[in-house]
Amino acid sequence: MGRREKLTEFNRNNILLAAKALFESKGFEQTTVDDIATEADCSKSTLYVYFKSKDEIYYSIVFSSMCLLKEKFEVASRIDSGFENTFYYICNMLTEFKNEYPIYFTSILSEISVDEEDFERLPVLHDIYTVGEEINSILLELIIKGVESGSLRKDLKPIPTIFTMWASLGGIIQMAEQKEKYFENKLAMPKREYLEYSFKILLDSIKEQN
């Protein structure tokens, strides 16, 4: 990598780190491009050399977090100790990911654009779509292997099952955070216990019942 490329990468990363800190502390809507430039210690005009808009900065961070998530799913796919162990690894990994990237966890579960006009306007949206499909492919392979091994129900439709898992796991993890005090005070159930109970219910719903 040449000097110019290194400088470009350094400046982009500096802007992204500054924006990430601001998005997490102030929220996306409350953060302005001026705020990001100030935090990154650069001029607004310099920022626009690297990013077209605040949206592009935000989605670039989402893309980076999804790439990290993909790496974690690739680790999960190499676990060779049965579907159940892989499933719980994924559950715990997503829980940790939510704790580390709360804003972007929500974005990952939201609608991902498949509109060509959006891709032309913000190419990073196409990158997000692509890595999302790659993650789904890893999950698809795990589901198919689970069915073939007899661990999962043979009547499962793999692709709808993937999105049901996304919806269920996302909802469980978010509910555990939002209702943590309620569960502890009213049910005497710590957050971790609620998560484990809910993950088991989800697993039991797709397991082959012997």
Distance of CA 34 to the CA centre of its chain: 27
> Environment class of residue 94 by beta-carbon count within 10 Å: exposed (0-12), middle (13-18) or buried (19+)?
buried
Torsion region of 51: left, alpha or beta (phi above 0 gives left; psi -120 to 50 gives alpha): beta
Residue 2 is predicted with a pLDDT of 66
Write out the CATH class of domain 55-206: mainly alpha
Q: Which amino acid is at 21?
A: A
Residue 145 is predicted with a pLDDT of 93
Domain with CATH 1.10.357 in the chain: 55-206
Residue 37 is predicted with a pLDDT of 96
pLDDT in tens, 116-168: 888 888 899 999 999 999 999 999 999 999 999 999 999 999 999 999 999 99
| Whole-angstrom distance, CA of residue 142 vs CA of residue 31 | 40
Domain with CATH 1.10.10.60 in the chain: 1-51
pLDDT of the chain along its 210 residues, tens only? 567 777 788 889 999 999 999 999 999 999 999 999 999 999 999 999 999 999 999 999 999 999 999 999 999 888 878 899 999 999 999 999 998 888 888 877 776 777 788 888 889 999 999 999 999 999 999 999 999 999 999 999 999 999 999 999 999 999 999 999 999 998 899 999 999 999 999 999 999 886
| Overall size of the chain counted in residues | 210
Q: Which of 76, 98, 68, 104 is nearest to 195 (CA)?
A: 98
User: What is the DSSP code (8-state) at residue 76?
Assistant: H
Q: Which residues of 63-79 are buried (b: 16+ CB within 10 A; e: fewer)?
A: bbbbeebbebbeebbee
CATH superfamily assigned to domain 1-51: Homeodomain-like (1.10.10.60)
Residue 1 is predicted with a pLDDT of 58
